[in-house]
Homo-oligomer: A and B are copies of this chain.
């Protein structure tokens, strides 16, 4: 909700989606649902961010997609991690941890 949350999501949304897919293939809509549920209140995954992100990552070959049927019998595009995606996730997770370490050093020094 605060506009800064939107900004902070930048550079983080991709990694969240990748992480979601380590639990197995999921379609876009389900990814959004799962993320909001897991992250807890305060995080909303807008579809205007979600689908472009999925598209982007497929272009980069971090994920691959396949049409199928959702649990409710509807057409849905299922995404799964590629080897490159797994590697990317690992690298970005390390970067993320290094990043919050840096920020924490400034925010709560000593």
Residues in chain A within 8 A of chain B (CB atoms): 2, 4-8, 10-12, 15-16, 19-20, 35, 38-40, 42-43, 92-93, 95-96, 98-100, 102-103, 105-107, 109
Contact = CB atoms under 8 A, between A and B. Distances in A.
Contact of A40 (B15, B16, B95, B102): B102
A10 to B, nearest CB: 5
A95 B11 contact: no
Given A2-B95, A95-B2, A39 B7 contact: no
A19 B93 contact: no
Main secondary structure of the interface of A (DSSP, over half): helix
A2 B5 CA distance: 21
Given A4-B95, A38-B109, A95-B2, A103 B10 contact: no
A6 B96 CA distance: 12
A105 B5 contact: no
B107 A15 contact: yes
A107 B102 contact: no
A12 B8 contact: yes
